[in-house]
Each structure stands twice: as C-alpha cells, then as structure tokens.
C-alpha cells in the first residue's frame, strides 16, 4: 500500500473515531444519554430550519468572497457557494487544512477565470474581515454579560487569542501600506527560497495586493458591505445553534449564546484540529451550562448543531467539488487548471 493510501486510510479512521465520540460519547456527559431518547419527539421542522440557517450562512460567506473580487472576474453566487462548500468539506477532513483550502479555492476559482493574485487578496481580506467581526461580536457580548455573570479566566484567554490575531493582521496591513517597497522586497527575498518560486513574481504579486488593499480602504461602501455580510454569516450560524438547543427544550439567552459561540469559534481559530473538531464542543458545552442551560440539553444540542455545521459539509463539499471541477473545466477549457500560488512560480 502506498504512503498516500496509508495517509488517506488514517484520516478516514480518525474521522470515524471522532464521529463516534461526538455522536455517542459526548451526549452521555451530564446525563444527556437520557435526553437522546427525546430525539424521536423533535419537530422535524426545527431540524430543517437548522439546515436552512447553515445553508444561508454558507451563502453569506460565499457572498463575502464576491465582495472582495472585481466586477470583471466575479463569478456568480452559485459558483462561489459551491467553492465555499468544497473548501469547507476539505478543511473539515485535513488537520490544519488551511493550505488544502487555499489549493481548492485556487483550482476552482482559477478555472472560473479569477486571477491568482486577485483571489489571494480576496481570500485574505475575507478571512481577516470575518475574524475581526467575530471578535467584535464576542467582545460586545462579553461587555454585556460581565456585569451579570462576572469576568471569567476563560473569557480573558479567548479575548487574548482574538486580540493577538487582530494585532498580527493589523501589523501586516500597516507594514504593507506604510512601507510597500521594503515589505515587498523582504517578503520576495524570503519566499524566493522556496522551490519554483520566482522573486520578481512574488514582488509583483505583493505590490498588486498593496494596490488592491489601498483601493479597498478607499471604498467605504464595499467595506461596510463586507462587514455587514460577515456579521450576517456569523449570526446565522449562531442562530442555527440556538434553534438546535431549542429543539431539546431550552431557549438560551441571546447574550449567553453569543458569548459561548464567540468563545468557541475564537479558540477554534488556532488550527489544532480540522474545523475546530473537539475544541468547539469542549468550549460550547460548559459555557452554555454556565449560562443556565441544562448539561444534558447543552450536550445534545451542541452535537445536533455540529452534525449540521461540521459533518454535513464533508460529503456535500466533496460532491460540490466534483461537480464544479468538471463543469468549470468544460465551460472554460482555456483557463485550464491553476494550481495554488501559480502566479508566483517561474514561467
């Protein structure tokens, strides 16, 4: 058996183990085993509503990508949604799957005719902007909740993680804007040490990104639109969690829900496991309990939410990738396949 097949088999086994733990072990925490017996009594409309909210959240994230692409190279919302699903599916399988996600995006968007440099800027702006909005949502919820619940050590840890990520992003942006020449030269010299990476191409790419960033900062309408869409994406996903919890008989307060949701997703930003598997559950359940949710309902509700939020995009994403990869290759044969970072390699 080849090394590639061994790695694939290992990933599949780990996913099976994770699925069994999440579906059968986690629900037994805090007496939730008994709550599982109520599954048959759940109104199926609530389950459909959770799926609908998650679908809308994915569409919102796809639209966020479109906001940062130029009119000339902006694919339709359906194509962007398919690419988002595909990248989600892969990122939920591969640990630290950011590189895999980038490769999937470059391949599919490249076949759709999006230039690599423009796509790189759009993906970076999307990720940074989305992270900023998530932290603002968390901090607003924390400020609202601290007078009632008090300040917890876990709050400080999550807020610190978010602050570090935001400071790092802001530092990179400021460094690029204030010292474009020096930044481009240093980054190009560093990246040119990698195989098949041309220093001049890297420098051109960074200068192009700087121009795109400058244009974005000078376009307040697009900035506001991106911020609103990013907030909608997070709030739709949080609403799916709320509906999943209400399906088991508990309606959490909005502030408590947003604190738990924000803490879990900020901590999951550290790429320890694919899609925050285990991290999100470990933070969500005790935080929801601290805000008054019964332990059994919190465990079962989080499992139900994660079945839709984490597990469902895996098969759907692989299907979306297969369909898009073939359709885009057929529709745009002249674009061919653009591997990740193709614009940075030697011609």
DSSP string, 188-229: HHHHTTSTTB-HHHHHHHHHHHHHHHHHHHT-HHHHHHHHHH
Question: Residue 78, exposed/middle/buried by CB under 10 A (0-12, 13-18, 19+)?
Answer: exposed
| pTM for the full predicted model | 0.76
Task: Find, among 336, 248, 247, 225, the residue nearest to 50 by Cα.
Answer: 247
Q: Which of 57, 43, 235, 256 is nearest to 148 (CA)?
A: 256
pLDDT at residue 269 tops 80: no
Q: Which of 104-113, 204-213, 222-231, 277-286 has the lowest mean pLDDT?
A: 204-213
Report which of residues 325 and 38 the model is more confident about.
325
Question: In DSSP terms, which residues pair with 197 in a beta bridge?
Answer: 345
Give the contacts of 121 (CB within 8 A, at least 6 positions apart). Answer: 68, 208, 209, 212, 213
Q: How far is CA 346 from CA 88, 193, 199, 248, in A?
A: 30, 13, 9, 57
Contact, 149 vs 290, CB < 8 A?
A: yes
Task: Give the integer Cα–Cα distance in Å for 286 and 290.
Answer: 6
What tens digit of pLDDT does each residue of 111-163 get? 888 988 788 888 888 888 888 899 889 888 888 877 766 666 556 666 666 66
User: What's the alpha-carbon Rg for the chain, to the nearest Å?
Assistant: 21
Alpha-carbon distance of 277 to 310, in angstroms, equals 8
pLDDT of 42: 61
- What pLDDT sits at residue 32? 45
Residue 117 main-chain phi, psi, to 5 deg: -65, -40
C-alpha torsion angle, residues 106, 111, 117, 122 (rounded to 10): -70
Q: What is the DSSP string of 145-177?
A: HHHHH---HHHHHHHHHHHHHHHHHHHHHHHHH
Q: Specify the pLDDT at position 6.
A: 46
Confidence of residue 333 (pLDDT cuts 50, 70, 90): very low
> What is the longest distance spanned by two Cα atoms in the chain?
64
> Averaged over 34-41, what is the pLDDT?
49
Mean pLDDT rounded to a whole number for the chain: 76
Nearest to 260 by CA among 167, 88, 145, 160: 145
Q: How far, CA to CA in Å, does 45 sit from each of 48, 244, 246, 302?
A: 5, 11, 12, 18
């Amino acid at each position: 058996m080849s090394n590639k097949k061994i790695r694939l088999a290992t990933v599949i086994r780990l996913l099976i183990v994770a699925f069994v733990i999440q579906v059968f072990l986690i629900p037994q925490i805090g007496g939730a085993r008994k709550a599982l017996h109520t599954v048959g009594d759940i109104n199926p409309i609530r389950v459909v509503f959770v799926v609908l909210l998650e679908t809308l959240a994915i569409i919102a994230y796809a639209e966020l990508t479109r906001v940062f692409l130029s009119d000339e190279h902006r694919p339709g919302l359906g194509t962007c949604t398919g690419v988002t699903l595909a990248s989600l599916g892969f990122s939920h399988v591969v640990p630290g799957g950011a590189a895999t996600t980038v490769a999937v995006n470059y391949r599919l968007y490249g076949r759709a005719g999006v230039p690599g440099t423009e796509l790189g800027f759009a993906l970076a702006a999307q990720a940074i902007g989305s992270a900023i909005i998530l932290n603002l949502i968390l901090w607003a919820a924390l400020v609202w909740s601290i007078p009632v619940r008090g300040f917890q050590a876990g709050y400080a840890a999550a807020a610190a993680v978010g602050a570090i990520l935001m400071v790092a992003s802001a530092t990179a942006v400021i460094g690029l804007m204030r010292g474009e020449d020096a930044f481009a030269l240093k980054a190009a010299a560093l990246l040119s040490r990698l195989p098949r990476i041309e220093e001049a191409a890297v420098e051109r790419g960074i200068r192009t990104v700087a121009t795109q960033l400058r244009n974005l900062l000078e376009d307040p309408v697009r900035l506001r639109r991106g911020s609103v869409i990013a907030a909608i994406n997070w709030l739709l996903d949080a609403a799916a969690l709320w509906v999943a919890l209400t399906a088991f008989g508990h309606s959490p307060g909005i502030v408590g829900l947003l604190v738990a949701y924000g803490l879990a997703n900020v901590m999951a930003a550290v790429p320890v496991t694919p899609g925050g598997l285990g991290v999100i559950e470990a933070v969500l359940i005790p935080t929801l309990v601290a805000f008054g949710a019964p332990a059994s309902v919190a465990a079962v509700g989080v499992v139900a939410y994660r079945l839709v939020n984490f597990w469902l995009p895996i098969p759907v994403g692989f299907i979306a990738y297969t369909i898009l990869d073939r359709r885009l290759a057929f529709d745009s044969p002249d674009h061919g396949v653009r591997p990740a970072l193709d614009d940075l390699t030697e011609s």
